Structures are given as C-alpha cells and as structure tokens.
Amino acid sequence: MNDLVRLVSPNFSDLFEPNMEIGKFPDGDTHVRIPSLAACKDHEVAIFHRLYPNQNDCLVELLLIMDAVRYQGAKKITVVSPYLPYARQDKQTIGGEIASAHVVCNILAGAGCDRFVTFDCHFLNEEGQIKHGNLNIINISMSKPLIDQARKLFEGQNFEIIGPDDGAAYLVKDSGGSHLKKVRKDYDGDKIAYRHIDTMEGEFDVKDKNVLLVDDMISTGNTMIQALDKMMDAGAKKVICAATHGLFLYNCLDRLRKRSDHIFATDSIISPQSSVSIKSRLEELFNPQNKLF
Ligand code: R5P
C-alpha cells in the first residue's frame, strides 16, 4: 500500500535508512524524536526497531514510539523487531516465576502494536500469523536461507541437517532433517537465571558425514557445543553451526570455533557471524503485491 509510513530506528541502519533519533537525557531516561511524526496521521505505519541488544532500553524506546504514533492517529501499527527478547520465558518452570514472554507480548499489544513481525520466535514452532497473548505475531523463518548458505559452504557436498532440540524441529523438518531431544536441569540458584543442560539424545548416523547443526538461537552456546560434541564423538567429518539469532554470550564463539568448521547467523542480531540477511524476507513481506499492506 502506497500510504505506508516507514519509521526506521537508528538500530536498523544496517538495513534501512533511519529516520528517527533515539538518545538519552543526562539522567539516563530515553529521548526519542520522530521528525516525520505528523505524516503518520491516518496512515498505516511500520516501525523498524531492534529489541536486542539492550532489550530493556529498546522496549521502552518502542513503547514511546508506538504511543506517539498511535496518538498521532495512525490507522494501523506494524512493528518489525527481528528478535523478540523474553521469548524464552514463555513457561513457568518454578512456582512464582513470571512467564515474561506473555507479559511482553501483552504490553506491546496494549501499547498499540497491531502486528508484530519477527523471526524464528522462540516460543513458536511454525511460520505464519499466530496470536500469543494479545499480540498478533507474524513469524518468519530463516531456516531456508540458513540451509542455502550452508549448501554454499559445503561446496556441493552432501550434508545432514540436525537441530539440537525439539524447538529446532520445525527449522529442519522441511529439508528432511532430524532433531535431538534436550532436557534441562532445574535452576541451580545462581544470580543468573539459567538451567543447565541435563541430557541431549537422539538417533543419528553422522559417521564420515558433513553436518549442519541449526537452531533458532545461540545464546550461551551450551546447546550448540553439546550438540557439536555429540557429532564429533559420532565421527562426523565436518560440522557447521547456524542459527537465526546469534547472541554469542560469554565468548562462546571461541569455544564453538574450537569444535566446529564454521559458525554463522543472520543479521537479526548484528554480529561478525551475520552472513545471512533478513532483508530480502522483509522486502518480500513489504512488497505491495503482498496483501499484508
Ligand atoms: C532452546 O532452548 C533454544 O532453541 C536454543 O537451543 C537455546 O535457547 C540456546 O541457548 P544456549 O545457547 O544458551 O544453549
């Protein structure tokens, strides 16, 4: 639709020209300026704003932007945030724990987000339009572009495609891949809320074969490292690791590099490993022939 107004945050400047200014007041409060705010009146508005890194700041920035756009009289607000923070906290595993994924989704919907476009959202297991809490999510999968990139890296040689856990099943199923089963332990009481991996098991025959390990995200890297160790123990020839979202916490890249032949991710989160871009999937989505807009 021609009357779509695009608002692009500075944290999206690698993919699109930014037209909003985001900074801080001296005390740390967030300052946002949208020079073209008046143009939002009676228009559909798409807000391109990443929510990671600095997820809490980024969420407040988005709330401020959405409120201003809604108050200005926008017809419909679509938010594009490639990685949804808090998505891993979608279940309560111990009493009193807050399932923050639901809270974040409801806050975004309540602030006026009519549609939220994201990629390989952790708590979803399919591509498409799905409602979570009050939020209408459009979940786009990067599994095909990741697998296509691996095909180039393996230079025409065959490779097995394996997901390290149940959550990765939907990423590998269309390409005939398989997935392992991962069970996490309880929280161990540290200040950092984290559940270590207890077991990772599955049926696979990778002896003398190339393997692509693919997951929705690499965060601490523990999942990928455990899966890598399993592949190496089983005699895999060459192993490449791929994920939609590369957070690469605690210098896990160094540990991954020691064990694998290559690691790559998309630019949903910008990192030196971002060799596959989400841009063309976004352009497809925003193509006027696509009935979405
Ligand atoms: C499921 O748990 C997810 O699909 C990922 O496997 C997980 O979030 C990766 O986290 P980490 O890198 O900390 O093991």
* pLDDT higher than 80, residue 28: yes
Probe target for ligand 1 pocket from 142, 172, 218, with the most ligand atoms within 8 Å of CB: 218
The β-bridge partners of 242 are: 214, 264
Q: pLDDT tens digits for 30-49?
A: 999 999 999 999 999 999 99
Are 7 and 36 in contact by the 8 Å Cβ rule? The answer is yes
Residue 190's pLDDT is what? 78
* pLDDT higher than 70, residue 177: yes
Atom 5, ligand 1: which residue's CA is nearest? 217
* pLDDT higher than 70, residue 198: yes
Q: pLDDT tens digits for 259-273?
A: 999 999 999 999 999
Q: Which residue ranges have their beta carbon within 6 Å of ligand 1?
A: 88, 164-165, 167-168, 215-223
Q: Which tokens in the block code for residue 270? A: 């910008």
pTM over 0.75: yes
Probe target for ligand 1 pocket from 190, 215, 229, with the most ligand atoms within 8 Å of CB: 215
Atom 10, ligand 1: which residue's CA is nearest? 219
154-175: average pLDDT: 97
175-182: average pLDDT: 96
Q: pLDDT tens digits for 91-117?
A: 999 999 999 999 999 999 999 999 999
